[in-house]
Structure 1
């Protein structure tokens, strides 16, 4: 059994952003400032990745304090009762004609789990000037906020609604190889403990 590699997110070179329709004519953009993940691969093969991401829901920012407070309130993320947004991967598909992988998993918002798909573009693996092995990805996708019961809205006098249902997600993620976990040794140790 091959070694399993652990990767750590480089916070300084990563971001999780989103945009949503406003007044049906433009977009509001935002991001989450605090997030982390456990990422493991077999060797450096990211098609084998096991991904567990968690986001501090209260770290949402859109550039407007009043709007941010509303997004943190019960109408939306209800951060008092649901402190984290999480994503746990289930499968990663083979590369397609667009040079992207399909990443499937469970996205949990306000305590509700939904199966979602994201597209992942692998940027490659490179050694930085200090000898650290790094990998980069662009992750994109679209979800509907109503799937998590986030249905607050306001009707406009001229017709239509204030904010759309579709949320476009875009992430730039850079990770660093932080070591190996010898699964063979782990299995042997587990077998010894059970004897």
Structure 2
């Protein structure tokens, strides 16, 4: 099958977010503000699409400056040494997206549940495709190993991280 249609992410209508339990009682949500993604498809059919994604780790935003600074440090992303995280798909069947996620210097295969919300033409004549994608990773698999325990024995940051991607692609002419 020949991939012959190129799509680029519509960053104004997309969000790359993560959720992680804090002290096992509440959930902290963060997102990356600087990211890019492309898709190559056979026409408008996203089955077997090739997707590539990258985000600047220093663009992390959890609405808490001190926490963001900590996340950019070597305890987590080490944004200075590893400025980008990347994802390259291996397979996509419309429901499941499988690919290699690289954070820091570790690459692991991950699986995301994917739902195509639809393909539509906007008022400006641009064809757009919208997806919701979710999945879970263990942050320690990617050397994001910082850990602490409260006086009561609660883990401060869960190892499990939920990925939540709401993305819209624009068909390139």
TM-score by length of 2: 0.96
Contact 1:2–1:43, Cα closer than 8 Å, also in 2: no
CA apart distance, 1:38: 2.2
CA apart distance, 1:139: 0.7
What is the match of residue 153 of structure 2?
159
Q: How does 1:45-60 map to 2 (within 5 A)?
A: 45-60=45-60
Distance 1:174 1:37 in 2: 10
Distance 1:160 1:3 in 2: 49
What is the match of residue 91 of structure 2?
91
Equivalent in 116, 125, 132 of residue 126 of structure 2: 132
CA apart distance, 1:2: 5.1
**Match status 1:143 vs 2:137:** yes
Residue-pair matches, total: 173
Distance 1:3 1:11 in 2: 23
1:26-67 alpha-carbon deviations (Å, 9 max, x no partner): 111100001001210011110121011010110000001000
**Structure 2 residues without counterparts, runs of 5 or longer:** none
**Structure 1 residues without counterparts, runs of 5 or longer:** 96-100, 180-195
- Moved segments of 4+, more than 3 Å: none
Contact 2:3–2:40, Cα closer than 8 Å, also in 1: no
Residues 18 and 40 of structure 1: CA distance in aligned 2, closer, same or farther (over 3 Å): same
CA apart distance, 1:102: 1.0
What is the match of residue 171 of structure 2?
177
Equivalent in 108, 118, 141 of residue 114 of structure 1: 108
1:150-176 alpha-carbon deviations (Å, 9 max, x no partner): 111111111121110000111110111
Residues 130 and 60 of structure 1: CA distance in aligned 2, closer, same or farther (over 3 Å): same
What is the match of residue 191 of structure 1?
none
Q: Per the alignment, in what secondary structure is the counterpart of residue 68 of structure 2?
A: helix
CA apart distance, 1:147: 0.7
Distance 1:117 1:166 in 2: 14
What is the match of residue 7 of structure 1?
7
What is the match of residue 74 of structure 1?
74
Residues 177 and 21 of structure 1: CA distance in aligned 2, closer, same or farther (over 3 Å): same
Two-structure CA RMSD over aligned residues (Å): 1.2
Q: Per the alignment, in what secondary structure is the counterpart of residue 114 of structure 1?
A: strand
Residues 149 and 2 of structure 1: CA distance in aligned 2, closer, same or farther (over 3 Å): closer
